[in-house]
Amino acid sequence: MPNKLKILLASPRGFCAGVDRAIDIVEKTLKKFGSPVYVRHEIVHNKQVVENLKKLGAIFVEELNEIKDNTRPVIFSAHGVPKSVPEEAENKKMFYIDATCPLVTKVHKESERHHRNGYQIILIGHKGHPEVIGTMGQLPKNSIKLIETESDANSLKADEFNKPMAYVTQTTLSVDDTKNIIKILKKKFPNIKSSIKEDICYATTNRQEAVKKIARDCNMFFVIGSENSSNSKRLVEVAKKSGCKDSELISDGQKVPIEKIKNCKVIGLSSGASAPEELVQNFILEIKKDIQVSVEEVITANEKVVFKLPKELN
């Protein structure tokens, strides 16, 4: 084994408090109420997590009308749901437990507060992402206008809304890209209101900071995470923008690109908030089969956030 490779391991990486709580909710619901337990949408965006929970007796559906037995509990995913979903469950007299991350719920509450106070809301986020669908679904149609890019912000017209303005954001966006969009909004609408506390969550911010710190020293950067995981995809973008052009997402079941890694002296490694640590360690083990490796963990923050379980499980 002639090569010697250094792996810079970003920390924090992987599971955040919202993901830990959501998985715990499914496991504890199965324990307390037996199986099956239905889960609306992937509880978190990771195939391994979903497969493990299926083995314990969870059944995943996209909509409540796919549920065959309405007497069984149903759990709503960490990304949050539009108000119509709990309403539908109540109409059908279903027992539901909401695993929405408390930091997503915070954005829902901010949006409702702005709406009550008569503001037109701009949501910065990615069209079609379940969190965005959930946030937009907290309020009547047209109360929230979604924008995705700087160009969307630029094309908003100052007199488009005959109301005071406020903005909220998806929790898992790129911190830097979002700053630029907000700058444009503030220039256009100098009195635009923001949330009391930052909407991009601590986990997204910390994982991006850790990647930024090491990306420029790496020949290649790898992020373990699923294709549909917003925060994982943002980490790849952050690594590219921070100086490592050769940055890739390693999604579910994808092989370790060992031939490319063989040409590197240093690689960076991180994982999205919904990716189990086991996948990171397996990635390193695979490399070790062919290459001599030293691993250095670069810690940029210590996380101690823990969220309480919903009352139904206490």
16 binds ligand SF4 (CB under 6 A): yes
Q: What are phi and psi of 6, to 5 degrees?
A: -105, 130
78 binds ligand SF4 (CB under 6 A): yes
CB closer to ligand SF4 out of 16 and 275? 16
Q: Which stretch binds ligand SF4 (CB under 6 A): 13-21, 29-37, 56-64, 276-284?
A: 13-21
81 binds ligand SF4 (CB under 6 A): no
**Which residue of 171, 208, 232, 271 would you call a contact of ligand SF4, by CB under 6 A?**
171
Q: Which stretch binds ligand SF4 (CB under 6 A): 14-22, 154-162, 249-257, 282-290?
A: 14-22
Closest residue to ligand SF4, based on beta-carbon distance: 18
**Which residue of 7, 8, 9, 19 would you call a contact of ligand SF4, by CB under 6 A?**
19
204 binds ligand SF4 (CB under 6 A): yes
CB closer to ligand SF4 out of 171 and 271? 171
Q: Rounded to the nearest whole angstrom, what is the least distance from the CB of residue 106 to ligand SF4 in the complex?
A: 9
Total residues binding ligand SF4 (CB under 6 A) = 15
Q: What is the 3-state secondary structure (H, E, C) of the chain?
A: CCCEEEEEEEECCCCCHHHHHHHHHHHHHHHHHCCCEEEECCCCCCHHHHHHHHHHCEEEECCHHHCCCCCCCEEECCCCCCCHHHHHHHHCCCCEEECCCHHHHHHHHHHHHHHHCCCEEEEECCCCCHHHHHHHCCCCCCCEEEECCHHHHHHCCCCCCCCCEEEEECCCCCHHHHHHHHHHHHHHCCCCECCCCCCCCHHHHHHHHHHHHHHCCCCEEEEECCCCCHHHHHHHHHHHHCCCCCEEEECCCCCCCHHHHHCCCEEEEEECCCCCHHHHHHHHHHHHCCCEEEEEEEECCCCCCCCCCCHHHC
Q: Rounded to the nearest whole angstrom, what is the least distance from the CB of residue 18 to ligand SF4 in the complex?
A: 2
168 binds ligand SF4 (CB under 6 A): no
Which tokens belong to 284?
């390193």
**Which residue of 120, 231, 251, 270 would you call a contact of ligand SF4, by CB under 6 A?**
231
Is residue 160 annotated as a catalytic residue, yes or no?
A: no
26 binds ligand SF4 (CB under 6 A): no
Contact set for ligand SF4, span 263-302 (CB under 6 A): 273
The residues assigned a catalytic role are 131
Residues that bind ligand SF4 (CB under 6 A): 16-19, 78, 101, 103-104, 171-172, 201, 203-204, 231, 273
